[in-house]
Amino acid sequence: MQWPEEVTIREVGPRDGLQNLPAFIPTETKIEIIRGLAEAGVTAIEAASFVSPRVVPQMADAGEVLTGLADLPEDVVLSALVLNTRGMARAAGSGVREVMAVVSASEVHHLKNTNKSVDQSLAELQELCFLARDSGVILRGAVAAAFGCPYQGVITSDQVKKVLDPMAEAGIEEITLADTAGMGNPRQVFELLEDITTCYPSIALALHLHDTKGLGLANVMAGLQAGVTILETSFGGLGGCPFVPEAAGNIATEDLVDMLQSMGINTGISLEGVISCTRMMEVLLGKMLPARIR
């Protein structure tokens, strides 16, 4: 077996981790947590999403959060999620360096998430690319529900490729495959990644995994064996899609860092620093978070 010497962990807690919380987290607290994650050695952080504040009120202060982090070191790359050209325009105006465009492999999930069909969003993708280039912003792609959908059930490789094809044609160089509902298993993860890597050899693939069935870290192992070295996690195991029933959180950043470090795989992240951010959030929420490493 071949194991990577180093893995990049993209922290998605400030976006995916917070978006489903019922109580609004103060802007100053979000900024403080992101700074804490950066100080812990996290160099890729999904800090916000530019979506409708009516639908996801937790992200209403996305612009203010990014403005408050403008002085972070150059090696810390902040990114934001967008779903349409309006969100892209807002993101570009915020000074963010990377933007992620998300399209679901599930028609039903995508409609609930965006109020558009998959084809409508894919048709809009080229315009998002033009806006990103004009603004000097890097555009990444993400395929949601790539490993299963609670509404549609099994998602096939062809359904994933329907989304990947236009992203690849648009020149997007990094694409995340997301197990949005946590329905994937290690064999499925490995086989889909093998197929996608063969079909799109020039695209860097990332994995975004949820721990619904407790298979998150097992799926990571399958991803590593398939050659993936970019993994998305959330401090404390926070997270869950607002449009997935009883959505479970992401893999906890500290759990993944601990596992990789024990395997001799470098992440450049301080375990204690991430745990400190989790404890801060636990105090704020008044409850323990799902992370196993404490």
Please give the positions annotated as active site. Answer: 241
Q: CA-to-CA distance for 212 and 231, rounded, in angstroms?
A: 17
Alpha-carbon distances of 120 from 111, 117, 144, 170, 175, rounded to whole Å? 10, 5, 16, 15, 19
Which residues contact residue 248 at a Cβ distance below 8 angstroms, ignoring those fewer than 6 apart?
Answer: 182, 210, 211, 212, 239, 240
Cα pseudo-dihedral 259, 265, 271, 274, rounded to 10: -90
47 in the Ramachandran plot: left (φ > 0), alpha (ψ -120 to 50) or beta?
A: alpha
Cβ-based neighbour number of residue 122 at 10 Å: 19
**Beta-bridge partners for 231:** 9, 207
